[in-house]
Amino acid sequence: MGRSDSVYDLASCDSVRDLLRTATALLDHAGTPDAAVDARRLVAHALMIDREQMLREPNIKPDPAAINRLSELLARRVAHEPVARIIGARDFYGLSLALGPTTLDPRPDTETVVTIARHLAERIERADSEPLRILDLGTGSGAIALALLSALPDAEAAAVDIDPAALDVARRNATAHGLTDRIRFLESDWLDQVEGIFHLIVANPPYIPTADVAGLAPEVSQWDPVAALDGGPDGLDAYRSILGSIARAMSPEGWAIFEVGAGQAADVSALALAHGLATAPLTWAPLRDLGGTIRCVAAATPGCDVKKTLGIEDRSV
């Protein structure tokens, strides 16, 4: 793992505090982004304690087995394996989600989709006894669908993926969070096998141009499934496929929310308009992620008075 002097000698650490300091220094020397954050997660995982206990009891003395586990975990992180892959789970919108080799590791930016969907759920008119119906296209680990179900107790969801192994992971996550009674899973190439009408359709499709995939950070290019990254020559193939048949699955008050890559929002919005949908203005603030990038495109059924529905004045959003 690089230098072997005492600065990075895990065996000499007599407490959790020492382990954290040493692990952070090692990862920082290796050029790992967010070294301190990663060190906290890996130390907690190696010691098999939660992060709160680790920080509350920094003088816990680690046993040799825990130190050996941590050494192996740090070696994997230095080799660019993402922490979520190492520990086998990702925290997403308050849920701990298991991952699999064929599921995307959901990033915090994708929580923007959930936030927008919750915002729109409050504005969708439906019969008093009718549940809010959600369709998650390309569900992967089930992140978006399960986050929405946990936040919207009167909702039900259909989660779609072309990969059966990904669906198995999503099912396990639904079981872990007690949501199996409100979600069904369907193997389908986007909307091909989907039946029914939905109030909200959400999707985080592959949107990286093919030529750019190999140049992504190794944490992404070497560990996320290519099928979940590669969006075709211009990155927009999946949007074209979905938008070509999405209208038939949308309720009259329905909305579709798409995650998009940086700089793609205008193109995806134009595709939605070309398929007859009405789109939220790209200046609508909720479309931006925490970094200020337009992360999503929101599209309503044809004829929807978008600005009225969203409460947007003509002069500003």
| Helices and strands counted in the chain (H then E) | 13, 9
202-259 confidence digits (pLDDT tens) = 999 999 999 999 999 999 999 999 999 999 999 999 999 999 999 999 999 999 999 9
**The pLDDT of residue 279 is above 70:** yes
**The pLDDT of residue 86 is above 80:** yes
145-174 confidence digits (pLDDT tens) = 999 999 999 999 999 999 999 999 999 999
User: Predicted confidence band at 115 (pLDDT cuts at 50, 70, 90)?
Assistant: very high
Around Cβ 307, how many Cβ atoms within 10 Å? 15
**The pLDDT of residue 1 is above 70:** no
CB-based contact 51:40 (threshold 8 Å): yes
Query: According to CATH, what is the number of the domain 89-310?
Result: 3.40.50.150
Ranges of each domain in the chain: 6-79, 89-310
**The pLDDT of residue 316 is above 60:** no
141-152 confidence digits (pLDDT tens) = 999 999 999 999
Fold of 6-79: Helicase, Ruva Protein; domain 3 (1.10.8)
Over range 115-120, report the average pLDDT.
97
User: Predicted confidence band at 46 (pLDDT cuts at 50, 70, 90)?
Assistant: very high
* Helix pair 16-29, 64-78: axis angle to 10 deg: 20
